[in-house]
A and B are shown apart, each in its own frame.
Chain A
């Protein structure tokens, strides 16, 4: 039952290991749930990889503990630790999303919020009377309710296979969440945010240590390529050593 989860957890502690800070957020969250046994909180012995930046300050300013469990489980499922990157939580995706929702974007900045409200066609785009933060609140509650009904437990405690099925159904528009909330609307914002957390500048809390830029070879913000454009016009790969906003500030 908790297989998927513990595997993810171990990986993440190994990565953050010595720093032992990011665990605190999870610890606080996990303390409220019987799922994470105290032993899982023990820092692993592995040293942080060379060149790792100090982890971002831990903690959430928007997510409630149960919501944090959901988001951590989602980002760790979508972005598992493997040879390319550490797990989603360890590269800061949950932190990124939490901050986005706590900030002006999450509160509906640049979103037209006048009614009347109607479903509309797919071509008419987003038409819910919810800010992103409110959409997450209702979406997570609905997702957990759905998982409890379908699998007998909240999303974070589901097996990896159950998580996979749920996310596929949610993204495929097959699930309507509690209160009639269209599951796909929630998923599409969630998915965009996961992508932003991975590929936006690390200054926003995700893409920790520029690991996702390194994964693809994106050089980041420092880009005066007037010479490179000549040198790399023959199909040779530009050797990217990514630079972020913080590196230049």
Chain B
């Protein structure tokens, strides 16, 4: 039997970006808060010390900072007709584990998703008509507008030390920034990062072609910075060991050096590491959570932590898994299209092309996680006519190699032998002279892309694995084919010696890394029949459960997720502090 602990007011599951934000924002209420984190503690000056941290094999190839799939993983398949098999090794995406979560080893790219993404169904119907949205696409509004989120985006950007250039300050277009973004109240906290030769060449060509290049905003600090909470951030050293690694210069906006230490100054906030939450407990009505069950993974003991309020902040995949395991909301059924937990699971689509220049050196190892130059002409630009590709959404296009770490980065022209002296000569010849142009594309929800519990495989605690049924469907094919054409055109105009064939990703494989941009499964919205959470990210069914993270996204943009993940975490924290704690119960 589980050991029952003295109750707390609030239990938070997971101490990554969103767990850190919630703990920091709710700490000053004086309520007793326990944060349960399945992994261990991390201390930048010890865990990220040089030269230890600059080890591509350990941290990148062997995923030292990420989830250990021998303990718990996901079963995966492309279609409901297949038998899902466990993801036996990490590959396509890399959930974090340990204090800081994936926020300790992310790239840092931080976007504001515009209003036309948050009100996506309304906007597309208005502009393209109801019939433009396919019948198998449960596209829906988020229940929150861009204007409502603006102050929360702002808050996250100032906390996370985002370097960038505004494109639209209160309606005034700024020449160097992203002209297509929604109006913002002020500049970024830090100026944009420097750009390398590859990004400069891309910017020049893109401009000549009539596009609108700008420096991509990211949490790699261009200058030393003190955030509004008084946390000190160092200057990025462009070391090329950023994503998948911790930052020894404290120059990456990460929860480890921002919200978490601030939260821990509150004596009423307790962080319990090595505490793996296995279930949210409910009372006999099923409408109220009574706390969580967890395992102390150092001893194997089962514990019960009673709490008045439960906040799931364990990354989208853990959050949805816990909701399915605990019966928080009705599981989604793809046959009937009813139910909500697991619905609208999405991921990131894309296309890429590699350019080879005989006479140039791009020094790919002088780099940082989120830098690069992008164009948003086919993505956030609402004026771009989507009937050109016939789909919904778009793709933003970037040149911005984040590293030159040679176990994984060795671009070669098509047709190069895989080994032997000719292979070596090609590796040596092209390592310095390559540029990748990448397109990051939206994924719209599809009726048969969803998450549920696996009937066969279990995790270390004997609980069913979560099953992921996902494929890039027709809408994504339209977007990435179009994106491939665009990047091919830009590539050619950059006049390389050689160029690969622009490659749209047509099918989802679990093997190569693509992105840790999993979204959906516990989506927010205005209607309890089609969403798991209301507009404050509160469970419709169990009102003392709030859920953070990209699981709340009803669709996935071409943009990286953490801008709105951070903004929504602040938005939810505000709703809990200002509304829920004053009058517990459903906020809608």
Contact = CB atoms under 8 A, between A and B. Distances in A.
Interface stretch (B150-158, B174-182, B262-270, B414-422): B414-422
A146 to B, nearest CB: 19
A184 to B, nearest CB: 12
A223 B508 contact: no
B88 to A, nearest CB: 4
A77 B77 CA distance: 37
B424 A110 contact: no
Contacts of A121: 78, 82
Interface stretch (B15-23, B378-386, B425-433, B526-534): B425-433
Nearest to A203: B55
Given A110-B90, A112-B86, A235-B361, A123 B78 contact: yes
B361 A113 contact: no
A123 B507 contact: yes
Counting chain B residues whose Cβ lies within 8 A of the other chain, the interface size class is: 35 or more
Interface in B25-54: 50-52, 54
Interface in A177-223: 191, 194-196, 198-201, 204, 212-213, 215-223
Interface stretch (B191-199, B278-286, B325-333): B191-199
Contacts of A127: 85, 88
Main secondary structure of the interface of A (DSSP, over half): loop
Interface stretch (A1-9, A133-141, A226-234): A226-234
Main secondary structure of the interface of B (DSSP, over half): loop
B425 A84 contact: yes
Contact of A245 (B52, B85, B89, B197): B52
B56 interface: yes
A108 B236 contact: no
B237 A223 contact: yes
A119 to B, nearest CB: 9
B99 to A, nearest CB: 19
Contacts, number: 187
B365 interface: yes
Contacts of B407: 195-196, 199-200
A118 B50 CA distance: 43
Contacts of A217: 431-432
Interface in B219-239: 235-239
A26 interface: no
B456 interface: yes
A226 B420 contact: no
Contacts of A124: 76-77, 85, 87, 510
A78 B238 contact: no
A123 B511 contact: yes
A112 B87 contact: yes
A80 B194 contact: no
Contacts of A80: 420-421
A224 B425 CA distance: 28
B51 A215 contact: no
B69 A112 contact: yes
A83 to B, nearest CB: 8
B241 to A, nearest CB: 7
A234 B427 contact: no
B200 A233 contact: yes
Nearest to A204: B57
B428 A216 contact: yes
Contact of B365 (A78, A113, A218): A218
Given A121-B82, A124-B77, A201 B238 contact: no
Contacts of A191: 418-419
Nearest to A120: B85
Contacts of A105: 62
B63 interface: yes
B329 to A, nearest CB: 27
B509 A218 contact: no
Contact of A110 (B63, B237, B405): B63
Contacts of A199: 56, 406-407, 410
Contact of A79 (B82, B196, B362, B424): B424
B91 interface: yes
Contact of A213 (B77, B88, B406, B410): B406
Contacts of B62: 105, 110
A149 interface: no
Interface of B: 50-52, 54-57, 61-63, 68-70, 73, 76-78, 82-83, 85-91, 194-197, 200, 235-241, 360-363, 365-366, 404-407, 410, 418-421, 424-425, 427-428, 431-432, 456-458, 507-511
